[in-house]
Structure formats: structure tokens, C-alpha cells
Chain A
């Protein structure tokens, strides 16, 4: 039975040495595996994974020049080249524990330290196949974003008290956090921590507290975790985030600085450090971080024009305007045909020109930025709006900046992380705008609209509720809560009074917006499944 498992599966071996590839292939052959392909570097691996779906990928971390194994994994996950049942095993020479946590978002299914024997590989594969089979129903529910179903399946498995109980508890806590069921997650963390100090549980506890807006306690969790387990890099990321939330910006920068010392290869962290250093008035540190980020991003699917813009801005802050402009020139070469790249090129150019004292050129560049932002989709507009507002402040166009910020707040009134970024942008630009008061006022207005809508629905005044929420959704197309509630109000009316094709299409448009903004949003599942049950009546 086990042998059949091996027999029918497709394997891909990724290593830059042909000797190593053939050694692994002969191990697989001795396990009766017949379908084995090989890739000699990262690009080759991605090409093969794009044209064929593999069940098992065995990938060396170290692949010579070009992409490394982690970047192959990132790209594969990012472009959905791996199915839920696929297994990605990272083969490493070094002890891998430090890598494990530095790549939380894109973790492989397993690490395998080399050299490994046939016995080890077989045992590892057996375990992974078994685990995937165990979690088949859970993964299916997760794919459908049906978190309640996933949690129910996990509870079923947990009740059997299996050998992999700790893994199941960990997975359940992660699902609870995604579904914003923080208190359920906290129950798990407390249970695990009561038995023994465990890093993932302490980390999770900190995250749950952070999301419950209990920042001071969250900070204590992350600090304690760093004392217990100084190599747990994700703890530094979260500590920095919490410190920034508590306006301890200098401390946040120091925390990230410590993190990049331990794990310098994480792209996002270097970018965050660069942004923070720039807004803290440390352009030299910012330049170092962005230089690193741009280098790391070279072969990465996560490469982004904002990295080049950040590097150019920091160079310009260090009075290296010519170098800055040279970097800006690269943006559209590295990202050809992307409106977002044109946008970042324009805003970065405006910032550098302003620093050089050429206000006319700066204003010209901003016009290009306006044109480019109109070409970008609704989903990126809030983020780009911040960049734009920041640059307007820099070139002295305060009013334009204020309008952009108000719009951005209205579209993201309940997105804490985004609003924190917005406050930081104002600080970075030295903008006299009272972002926090504005956030409070706009939040109140949006919440009031929302609550009135909900109240009207309860009163059975569907038409009034829908009119109010539809108008709000058109005014704030990027606001997930408003769009979801507008969709819900229409669904309730349809459930009670029958559906028209027009209404179904309007709801679909709201749902599409939210999906484009946040595919993972936990509220989506309910709306989409209710929408599926609608059939138009005349």
C-alpha cells in the first residue's frame, strides 16, 4: 500500500549539482518511484512546476547563483504552483532551525538535512503523506475559507489524541487567529504554556493580544519570547510592530536592527527597517537596509518597485541625488509595463527633484504620478495613495495630501495596520496633519453609516438600508466592511423578497472588490455561500 503511494506520485528534484541529483534519483528509484524530473536551478524548477503539477518537490536550499531554495518556494506558493496536497521538502546542509522561523509565511512542509539515507527519506515521506491524508478535510475547508468547518474537523482529530497532537493544536490556533477568533486561540496558547514554555504558543499569544489591541501586554509577550529564545526572529518583527503601534519608533528600529543581524536574508524585514529608519531620520541606516533589500529581491517573486523607490529616497536623503536618479531609472526596466512601477518612478523622482531644489520638475513628476495611479487597480490604490500623500507633503502641496489621506482613512477605517502606516507616513513627511483626530472622526462617520444600515435592516426597512449602504460603498470602494455589509443587506432582501439579476450582479461586484482587497478575509465565506444559493426570479 505504501509502495503504491510512491509509485503514482510525480517527483521533482532541484539541485545545481548533477551528481547530487542523480544520487537522490537513485534513492527514489530504490523506493520504487518511477516519475522523477530534475531541475538544475531555480528558474528551471519554476518552469517545470508551471508546466506540470508535482506531488513532491525535493529542493536544495543552496542553488548557486540566481534564486535560492527559499525563493523557489516563495514563487511556487505565490503563483499557486503547489496544490494543498503537494509536499515541498527543503534540503539543507546546515542545521535548519534558524531558517525555519525566518520564513514563517512561506515555510516548506519539511526540512531534510543532508546527507540523508534512503531510510530517512522514506520515513520522512511516509510521515508527510500520512499527515496530508489526515488533514485532507481540514485543508479542503481552508481552501474554501470555511474556517468554522476547518476548526470542527481539527477538533475531531484532536479529540482522538493522536501522536501529532501538538501540530494539530498549533494548526488550530493559526486557523483561529485567521478567523479572528482570538479568544479561542488564547485558550489553546494558555493550555500549551501551562504545560511547558513553548515558543510558538508564546508568539501566538502575543499576536492574539496585539489584535485584541492589548498592545502593552503583547509587547511583554514578545520581549519574554526573545529572552527565552533569542533566535526566534518572528518575535522581533512582532515586537517592532507593537512598539511602532505604541509610538516607540526608535525602539522599533533597534528591534528590527537586531533581527536583521540574526537573519539578514528576509526581504520584507529589510524593507520595514529601511522605512522606519527613513522616518526616524536615519537615512544612512535606511540606505543600508534598502540596498540589502534590493539585492535580495533580485531573483525574488516578491521584488517590488517600492524597494527601488525606498533606496532612491534614502540615497537622496544622504545627498546622493545622482545615484538616486540612476536607481529610479532602473524601476521601469526591472518592471516593464507595470503602471505601479511608473507610479513609484514618478513619486520618487518628485522627491529627489524637490531635494535638489527643482520644484518645477517635482510638480511635473507628480502629474505623471496622478496619471499612473489612475491606471492602477482599486486594490493597490490605498497603499499608493499614502506614497502619493507623502510626496505631496514633501513638495509642499498640503491640501492635496490631506484629501488623499481622508480618502485612504475612509476606505480603511477598521484596518489597524493600514491606519498605523498612515500615521507613520504623516510622521515621516513631517506633516502637521492631525492624522489621529482625522482617523477618529472619519471612523465615527463610517461606523455611524454602517450601524444605521444594520439598524434599518433589523427594522425591515431594506430599501432604505440598501440605499444608504450602496451610496457608502460607491463613496468608499476600498472599504471592505462597508462593501460586505452592502452585499449582506442586499442578500437579506433577496432571501426575503426574491432576487433580481441586477441585484445579484451588484452583490457580486461588492464581493469581487473585497476578494481583490483581501482574499483571506474571514467574513467572505458567509457572504459567498449565501450568494451561491441565489437564483434570479422575475
Chain B
């Protein structure tokens, strides 16, 4: 048994557990006779469980990245349809956090990307935005300069200026990791950003264009805006 088998089988077990926690919580929330749970606490549990799941997928993908086994299988996607999938995946969580999760894009917008990878990446990003948003999170897509730009915005206080400055100074995804230093706080290790940058980079075209990510504030909502530029 090699390590990837061990990893796969452990992940299978953990996912079974997370699945049962999530479904039990869902049943608790939807049961009108339930007197046990403080809904706020249940939501928190749900949120954290989903975060654990996203992190697990990210871990597996990072392992594959390390072994050069992760590639993007690009197919043509209908953005409206894709966003609806992503929203269905995160609806329960956002409802629990009393956040409005919506998307904006032209009915005909299409793009080329690996739907599984980008879906996973947006799940993590939504999980993250959920901690900062006040009332809403918004997904959008637009074609700009021959790129498809997918944006994830919230109406929170936005990314701290120091993070934006630091991020702008990073040229390569590798540097995002290097500059995380010895910090062990997950919110500060930028592992999520590193992963997002690597996944974006896996999307490239024969003419040499590569995907990348950008952070900014105050795009169409007042809070943070995570941008994914895909060729």
C-alpha cells in the first residue's frame, strides 16, 4: 500500500464522518420540534464542518500538486449553470449564517475551465468570505481582455491593506508560500491563496497565457473581492 492509497482511504473515512455530521445537523435545523440546539451554535458547527471538508479536498489536491499529478481538465462551461451548482453546495451554510448568496452574470456567458477544481476553490473562498461578510456574498463573471474573470465579493470590511500590499508584491505562487514564514494560524498561512494561485496557473492556453488570482476591495460590494482570471 503506498501513501496515496492510505491518504485516499483516510479521506474516504473522514468524509463519511463529515457527511453524517452535516446531515444530522441539517436534520436538527429543519426539525421544528427540536428544542436542543441553539441555532447559532448549530450553524457554527455546520460552517466548521464544511470548512474541514474543503480543507480536506484542498489537502488532497495539494498532495497531487506536489507529485505533479494535478492537471486541469478544461471544458466549456455555462457560467450561470456553474454558479447555480456552487450556490447549491453552499446554500445551507449561507442560510445558517443569514447571508444572502447570489450570482450575477449574462445568461449567455461561457468560459473554459476545470469545473471540479474551480468549484472546490470557490467553496473554500465562500467559506472564508462567510467569516467576514455582513449580509451578502456575490459571485459574478465577466469577459475582460480575452480572460474570463470570476469574482467573489462580500460586504464586510474588506481585506486589510497590509494583505493587499503584500499580495501585490508576490510574483509567483511559490512566493506566497515562502513568505508565510513560521505562522501556524490557518487564516494567516495563506495556504488557501497559494492553492488558488496554483489552480489558476494550471489553466493555460497554447498561446502561453496563464490563469492567476487578484485581491482587491470595493469592487461592486464594499468588502473584499477575490478575482480569478482564467485564459
- Distance in Å from the Cβ of A359 to the closest Cβ of chain B? 44
Q: Is the beta-carbon distance between B76 and A120 smaller than 8 angstroms?
A: no
Q: Is the beta-carbon distance between A95 and B61 smaller than 8 angstroms?
A: yes
Q: Across the two chains, which residue of chain B brings its CB closest to A166?
A: B76
A11 within 8 A of partner (CB): no
Chain A neighbourhood of B75, CB < 8 A: 166, 198-200
Q: Is the beta-carbon distance between A19 and B11 smaller than 8 angstroms?
A: no
Which one, B11, B84, B116, contacts A93 given CB within 8 A? B11
A326 within 8 A of partner (CB): no
Q: Which of A224-232, A470-478, A494-502 contacts B (4 or more CB under 8 A)?
A: A224-232
Bound-state Cα–Cα, A199 to B76, Å:
11
Q: Across the two chains, which residue of chain B brings its CB closest to A98?
A: B69
Bound-state Cα–Cα, A197 to B205, Å:
7
Q: Across the two chains, which residue of chain A brings its CB closest to B95?
A: A119
Which one, A19, A95, A196, contacts B76 given CB within 8 A? A196
A337 within 8 A of partner (CB): no
Q: Is the beta-carbon distance between B85 and A123 smaller than 8 angstroms?
A: yes
Q: Is the beta-carbon distance between B71 and A115 smaller than 8 angstroms?
A: no
Chain A neighbourhood of B57, CB < 8 A: 95, 113
Chain A neighbourhood of B9, CB < 8 A: 62
- Give the number of A-B contacts (CB < 8 Å): 100
B contact residues, total (Cβ < 8 Å): 40
Chain B neighbourhood of A93, CB < 8 A: 8, 11-12, 15-16
A43 within 8 A of partner (CB): no
Q: Is the beta-carbon distance between A232 and B73 smaller than 8 angstroms?
A: yes
Bound-state Cα–Cα, A165 to B81, Å:
13
- Distance in Å from the Cβ of A157 to the closest Cβ of chain B? 15
A532 within 8 A of partner (CB): no
Task: Mark each residue of chain A from 122 to 138: 1 if its CB lies under 8 Å from any CB of chain B, else 0.
Answer: 11000000000000000
Q: Across the two chains, which residue of chain B brings its CB closest to A192?
A: B76
Task: Mark each residue of chain A from 87 to 100: 1 if its CB lies under 8 Å from any CB of chain B, else 0.
Answer: 00000011111000
Q: Is the beta-carbon distance between B116 and A97 smaller than 8 angstroms?
A: yes
Bound-state Cα–Cα, A170 to B9, Å:
33
Chain A CB within 10 A, most for which of B11, B19, B85:
B19
Q: Across the two chains, which residue of chain A brings its CB closest to B13?
A: A93
B residues 74-118 near A (Cβ < 8 Å) are 74-76, 78, 80-81, 84-85, 88-89, 91-92, 112, 114, 116
Bound-state Cα–Cα, A62 to B80, Å:
32
Question: CB within 8 Å of B: which residues of A?
Answer: 17, 19-20, 23, 26-27, 30, 62, 93-97, 113-120, 122-123, 163-166, 192, 195-200, 229-232, 262
Besides A95-B120, A118-B92, 4 other CB < 8 A contacts? A114-B16, A117-B22, A117-B88, A122-B88
5 sampled A-B residue pairs with Cβ under 8 A: A20-B20, A27-B23, A115-B16, A123-B84, A199-B73
